[in-house]
Structures are given as structure tokens and as C-alpha cells.
Structure 1
Amino acid sequence: MEAREELRVGFVGAGRMAQGLAQGVVRAGKVKAANILASAPSDRNLGAFQDLGCRTTHCNSEVLQHCTLVFLTTKPHLLPEVLQQIAPAVTRDHIIVSVAAGVTLQTLQQLLPAGTKVLRVVPNLPCVVQEGAVVFARGSCAGEQEATLLKSLLSACGLCEETPESYMDIHTGLSGSGVAYVYLFAEALAEGAVKMGMPSALANKIAAQTLLGAAKMILETGEHPAKLRNDVCTPGGTTIHALHELEKGALRATIMNAVEAATTRAHELGER
């Protein structure tokens, strides 16, 4: 394995998620910007990599020629064609990390040369601001060394955990799609304040900080959310009256149903 400061990382595909992952590892000092090479068919997304100090190309195979660890960050329906392009350049020294939603490790291993070290990653959008939630699983030829390296790199983008591949659709329902549930909740929270007379800009800012603070308390205290929720409630106070309204609206059941629906859909898409 290359020394960390000399690790060369490639991105086949240069969209927003690729940009977020690159920003995370560069800003955390995990990889030098000059040691990152990104490819895309046009210049539309490559400017963000160039602004970061990374190198760019229009040739996917060139990324394999110059980089040891390569993220496949193309759209899922494009991945089979991309794998066909790069397969001749893949060697046993490469670590191939797929970020393509729904494309299984089995499929990746079938489309790449035998013995390729393959891992699959499911990030979420807040990786762009280095506060993401990422899970990954390894293929049959990827070992502890590759898993440790990937976790070290992606921890720069937020929380990163290795899981069985079977958890990945659940992660999509919980965290990938879950970001949108939180945005919807934040929007409703702020609109409630606007209804009561607070300016919209201030309400949005306070709603966002409220969500950030609550999430940080869960992570840093290790307490169950129910315990922290109970700590906020006082007998006959404002919070318990508000929670009663949320219970009447079946908030918990609705959110659980949303996670289930998104997980099921992710599984369906993966079977196509």
C-alpha cells in the first residue's frame, strides 16, 4: 500500500457527491489535492475539482493508470459501460470503490477482472459539507487493510461505518432519503414560527440550529433519543403539549413508514 501522503485517488465521474468526497479528504489532509485525478466526459463538473487543486481528464482509463484507489461516481445506469471501458486497465493493485446506488458487489465483481479489490459505499448528501453518514461493505477480495484505508479517508466526510451489504438499502431509507425528511421537518418547524410572527429568515436559521444541536447531543451523549426527549419535557409545560399534537398526527408512525417505503424502493431499484 502506498504511503498515505503519496496515495493517489481517482474519481470516475465528477458530480456533486464526488466533489464532496474529494473536498472532505483534501480539507482533512488525508490526500493531497495534486494526487487526485477526476474524469468526466465534459468540463461541466470538472471545474470544482480544478478549483480544489486536483487534476482532471476526459479519459476514464487515465484515472486507472495514475491512481491506486478509484471511486466510481457515475450514475448507476452508466456504470456497466464505464466498467467495460476501464476493466482492461484494472490490476490487482487497484482498490475500486463504487458509489453507484443499487449496484451490488456481486455485479461489480462480475464486471471487473477476477481478484479485483472492490468495495461499495453509500454516502448521503451532507458529505458535501463534511457532515455525511456513510456506510460501506467489501467484496470478497477486499481485506482489512482496504477497509481501514477507506474508513480513514471517508471519516473526513462525516460518520463512516462498515456494515453488511444487506444494510445498504436500509441506510438509503434512513439516511440517504432521510435527509429530505429532515428538510421537510425543518421547513415545517420554521413555518410554525412564521405563523406565530417570527421573520422567515430568522425562523429558518433557528430551526436548522435546533436540529443541529439536537443531533449533536445524541451523538456526543450516547443517550437514546427517547431519554433526551424526556429530559426536555416538564410536567404541564410547553413541550409535552406540543408532543401531544405530534402524537395525534402520528408523526412517529409516518416517519417509520417513510423509512420502510424508501428502503423497499431502494431494494426494487437494485434488482433491475
Structure 2
Amino acid sequence: MGQTLLGGLLRAGRDPASVLVVDRRAGRARELHERFGVRVVAAGVGAGAGEGVAAVRSADTVVVAVKPQDIAELLDALAPHLRDDVLLVSLAAGVTTAAVEARLRPGTAVVRVMPNTPSLVDEGMAGLAGGSSVSDEDLATAEQLMRSCGRAVVLPEKHLDAVTALSGSGPAYVFYVVEAMVEAGVLLGLPRATATELVVQTVVGAGAMLRETGQHPTVLREQVTSPAGTTAAALRQLDDSGVRAALVSAVEAAWARSRQLSGD
């Protein structure tokens, strides 16, 4: 996700010379420099951090894009080198702003972000929540950062588990349905490549209709559903199979798991 955000920033017009990437793997750092033209520093964390991590002392915004289990050690290494007025944006899933703030200088501005994988194609959706010391300007900066690879919404942190369940995990639900529809097409005799093309474009088109028309999904669904027609027959089967209830339960399960991981 860090590389995705980096690519989005540069496509949005950010000067590569203004971006510093710190990566614990020297080979990876060289790869990012060669691909994006940004400044890079290879640095470990903890006892192996050395002066590499100290390179962040000049940054006014620091984005932490690591796995949740790695963030505590990284923050401990970063903390002595961060500016007093720095904005720290955390992409670590399930790690609360309070947990991040506890390892930094009191008063450090922290914004927690829950992005999703369509950010890879600049169609991401991110939820942002500010910590106890963020200003409106800090939130606006973080929001602009995430909008470089999609859309973003700012909301209270108590809602980020729901964001995780809906948009964070949401692409997987869509891919799951696409898989099933493609398999149905193959079952009905279509070549797999043709079935895939039909389903993928249908999903893309349906999503575009939702966004561009602004109409409620119920209205759009009813426009496709003729009385006693093929769509009506399919929808009746979905209702009889409890698909709607299963989707609601699935999102609720993801929400519950997110709360568990964040310690709520």
C-alpha cells in the first residue's frame, strides 16, 4: 500500500525530489528510486536503525505503511527524530491513534487511515480519523494525500472498524461474486475468457452507473427488472437462498474481527 500511495502522489503531480522513502531493505530502496525517481534511504529499525531513520527529521508529513506487528518498533525508532510539528499518517490496519500517540512525543498529530486495494488503479476508497492532537489543517493534508489515488472520507475513529468491513474488505466481496458469476457463465457453456470479460465489464458499468447517476441502488435494480422476466427470476432465487442476509452477516463479521484486532 505504501508503494501504491507513492505512485498516486507522483501521478497527481508531486515532485519526486520532495519525497523521501525509508525502507529497511536496501534492494527495495534502490528499486523504488529507479522506478519513481524519489530519494531513498535504506534503514532498519530498533537497534539497527542507525542514521537512516533519522532522515525523517526534515519531513513535515510522515506516512507509516507497515504491517501492524511492525509498527511499535518502527515508531520507537522514529520518535526521537520527528519534528515537533510533524503530521504522522498511519496505514497500519487495526492500530488506533491512541496506540500510535503513546509511542510519540505528546502532542504529535496522528491520522489513522483505512485504505483499500483499488488504490492501485487510482480508484481507492479511504477512511480517515484524526487523533487527539490533529487540527483541521492536518486532516485536510491527510485527506488530500489519500485522494491522490482515489477518494477519501473523514469520520470519527469509532467508525473505522465499519470502514474496514465495508470498503477495506469490500473488494474481496466483489471479487468473490465475480468468481461465482464467471463460473456460472462457464457452466452455461461460455469460454472462460468471454465469461470473465462479460462479468468484469458488467461490474465496472454497474459501479459507474451508481456513481454517475447518484440514484439509489434499489432504483437502478428495479430498472433492470422486468415483471416476470429473467432478472426477476434470478433475484427471487438470490432472495430464497438468503444472499442479502449472508452479505449483511459477512460485513458484520468483518466488523467484529476488526474490533477484536484493534483491541476494542
TM class, shorter-length: over 0.9
* Residue 49 (structure 1) shift: 5.1
Say which of 16, 27, 38 aligns to 1:33: 16
- Paired residue type of 1:121: V
What corresponds to 1:264 in structure 2?
256
4+ residue stretches of structure 1 with deviation over 4 A?
Answer: none
Amino acid at match of 1:138: G
2 CA distance for matches of 1:175 and 1:44? 32
Matched with 2:93 is 101
Which residue is equivalent to 1:21? 5
Q: CA deviation at 1:50?
A: 3.3
Whether 2:224 is the aligned partner of 1:240: answer no
Q: Is the 8 A contact 1:72 1:99 kept in 2?
A: yes
Deviation at 1:196, TM superposition (A): 1.2
Assess if the C-alpha contact under 8 Å between 1:94 and 1:116 holds in 2.
Answer: yes
Matched, 1:42 2:25: yes
- Cα distance between partner residues in 2 of 1:241 and 1:251: 14
CA RMSD after TM alignment: 1.5
The residue aligned with 1:4 is: none
2: CA distance, partners of 1:233 / 1:203: 21
Q: Tell me the equivalent position of 2:37.
A: 53
* Structure 1 CA distance for aligned equivalents of residues 242 and 158 of structure 2: 29
What is the TM-score normalised by the length of structure 2?
A: 0.92
Q: TM-score, normalised by structure 1?
A: 0.89
Cα distance, 1:40 vs structure 2? 1.7
Q: Percent identity?
A: 36
Matches of 1:50 and 1:163, distance apart in 2 = 37
C-alpha contact (below 8 Å) 1:26/1:32 kept by paired residues = yes
Q: What is the correspondence of 1:191-270 to structure 2 with a 5 Å cutoff?
A: 191-270=183-262
- Residue in structure 2 matched with residue 78 of structure 1 by the alignment: 70
Give, in whole Å, the separation in 2 of the partners of 1:23 and 1:98. Answer: 17
Aligned pair in 2 of structure 1 residues 169, 196: CA closer, same or farther (>3 Å)?
same
Are 2:146 and 1:154 equivalent residues in the alignment? yes
Partner SS for 2:102: helix
CA contact (8 A) 2:120 2:149 kept: yes
Checking the alignment, whether the CA contact within 8 Å between 2:17 and 2:37 is kept in structure 1 is yes
Report whether the alignment pairs 1:118 with 2:110: yes
Counterpart-to-counterpart distance in 2, 1:241 and 1:63: 62
Q: Residue 98 of structure 1 contacts residue 119 of structure 1 at CA under 8 Å; is this kept in 2?
A: yes
Q: Are the equivalent residues in 1 in contact too, given 2:143–2:152 (CA < 8 A)?
A: yes
* 8 Å CA contact retained: 1:135, 1:163: yes
Answer 1 or 2: higher relative contact order, Cα 8 Å, separation at least 6: 1
Within 5 A, what are the aligned runs for 1:169-180?
169-180=161-172
Q: Check whether the contact 1:124–1:176 (CA below 8 A) recurs between aligned residues.
A: yes
Unaligned stretches of 5+ in structure 2? 44-51
The one-letter code matched in structure 2 to 1:40 is D
